[in-house]
Amino acid sequence: MPLTIFDLDETLIAADSDHEWGQFVIDKGLVDAQKHKKKNDDFYEQYKAGQLDIDEYLQFSCSILTQYSIEDLHRFRSEFVAQRILPIILDKAQDLVKKHRELGDTLLVITSTIEFVTRPIVDEFGIDILIAPDPEIVSNRYTGRIVGVPSFAAGKVTRLEQWLANRQDSLEGSSFYSDSHNDLPLLRLVDNPVAVDPDPILREKAEENQWPIISLRD
């Protein structure tokens, strides 16, 4: 079965889930609003510019997880998904996932946003396989650290290859859908790269390489 890979943020949903989570915890009063908003916005702009320090970003992203119990965090997350994520799931994205499922493809989401935030979102698409930065848990508390290689930029290739090493799947006939130029390493690896509502840099590269360009928002 061919492997069909999806980016999540700005591809299957009409926003960046990590930035939305950051704004949610600000609005809910779970963090210092002024400090958190500045960092949340700064990291998002760095990401879009291709200048993100992934280790600094993940340290920031995981910081709130250390401040509350897992039970409280899951409750906050359920509110977040209901209030901020369900309204921005793209209908055409759901149709695209459904099409590949009906073709019998193996479906996978790979994202640089932490697993804590993205797991329930990916569940909404009925996709079981998620590769994302994994926050470490010790004694039923988040430590603020990430386990393994972050799935960002070339790290997405590393994590995918690690996953493939333990399976019978291969990249023969594989597809990858993404909006971001940060995903160029993985887009160049698969057989069928697809630019989805691409940022300007990715659009230019897609046109140069004659990759398909589609919109899930029109």
Annotated active-site residue in 7, 16, 18, 105: 7
Fold for domain 3-214?
Rossmann fold (3.40.50)
pLDDT exceeds cutoff 90 at 92: yes
First vs last C-alpha separation in the chain? 30
Helix (H) or strand (E) holding 28: none
Q: Tell me how far CA of residue 160 lies from CA of 3, 26, 74, 143, 189, in angstroms.
A: 11, 33, 27, 25, 11
In tens, the pLDDT along 115-157 reads: 999 999 999 999 999 999 999 999 999 999 999 999 999 999 9
- The percentage of residues in the chain with a pLDDT greater than 70, rounded to a whole number, is 100
CA atoms within 13 A on the CB side of 97: 24
Reading the block at residue 53, the tokens are: 């320090």
In tens, the pLDDT along 164-207 reads: 998 888 999 999 999 999 999 999 999 999 999 999 999 999 99
Query: Is-catalytic flag, 55?
Result: no
**Mean per-residue pLDDT for 92-115?**
98
**Mean per-residue pLDDT for 26-45?**
93
How far is it, in rounded angstroms, from Cα 57 to Cα 96?
30
Find the farthest-apart pair of alpha carbons in the chain and give their distance in angstroms, rounded: 50
How far is it, in rounded angstroms, from Cα 7 to Cα 177?
6
Chain Cα centroid distance, residue 37? 20
- Contacts with 59 (C-beta within 8 Å, 6 or more apart), sequence order: 144
Reading the block at residue 28, the tokens are: 């809910």
What is the SS3 assignment for 137-184? EECCEEEEEEECCCCCCHHHHHHHHHHHHCCCCCCCCCEEEECCHHHH
How far is it, in rounded angstroms, from Cα 155 to Cα 110?
10
pLDDT exceeds cutoff 80 at 218: no
**Cβ neighbour number for residue 75 with a 10 Å cutoff:** 12
Query: Is-catalytic flag, 7?
Result: yes
pLDDT at 17: 97
pLDDT exceeds cutoff 90 at 95: yes
Annotated active-site residue in 9, 18, 105, 197: 9
pLDDT at 1: 86
Handedness of CA 173, 195, 182, 147 (dihedral sign): negative
pLDDT at 166: 85
